[in-house]
């Protein structure tokens, strides 16, 4: 058995579930075993983007976890990061013009 965590965060809430799993368990299997879907029904383990410590994993059903790793479930971005930066720059420029 190895120890891992499954994490999901919203702007106002977050949950990290510690979990004991069998060696060779995949990200997908850990998410299902964690029961996190009971708390956040909007999570669909079949389609939810996920990764390990901020690094996206393309095939969560095939990627085995190692001791101490944290599975992170990702939400879609509300604004494209490039657009968000352009918006901040335009706001700062407008503030300097005043």
Q: Is the pLDDT of residue 79 over 80?
A: no
**pLDDT band of 22, cuts 50, 70, 90:** very high
Q: Is the pLDDT of residue 92 over 90?
A: no
The pLDDT of residue 4: 96
- State how beta strands 14-21 and 70-73 pair: unpaired
Q: Is the pLDDT of residue 14 over 80?
A: yes
> What range defines the domain where residue 34 resides?
2-97
Mean pLDDT, rounded, of the chain? 89
Read off the CATH number of the domain in which 62 is found: 3.10.20.90
Buried b (16+ CB within 10 A) or exposed e, 63-74: bebeeebbbbbe
The larger pLDDT score, comparing residue 89 to residue 41, is at 41
Q: Is 74 helix (H, G, I), strand (E, B) or coil?
A: coil
What is the reported pTM?
A: 0.75
Number of domains in the chain: 1
């Amino acid at each position: 058995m190895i120890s891992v965590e499954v994490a999901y965060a919203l702007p106002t809430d977050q949950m990290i579930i510690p979990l004991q799993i069998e060696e060779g368990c995949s990200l997908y299997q850990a998410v299902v075993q964690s029961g996190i879907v009971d708390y956040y029904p909007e999570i669909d383990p079949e389609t939810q983007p996920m990764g390990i410590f901020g690094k996206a994993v393309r095939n969560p059903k095939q990627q085995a976890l190692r001791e101490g790793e944290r599975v992170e479930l990702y939400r879609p971005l509300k604004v494209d990061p490039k657009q968000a930066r352009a918006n901040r720059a335009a706001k700062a420029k407008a503030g300097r013009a005043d």
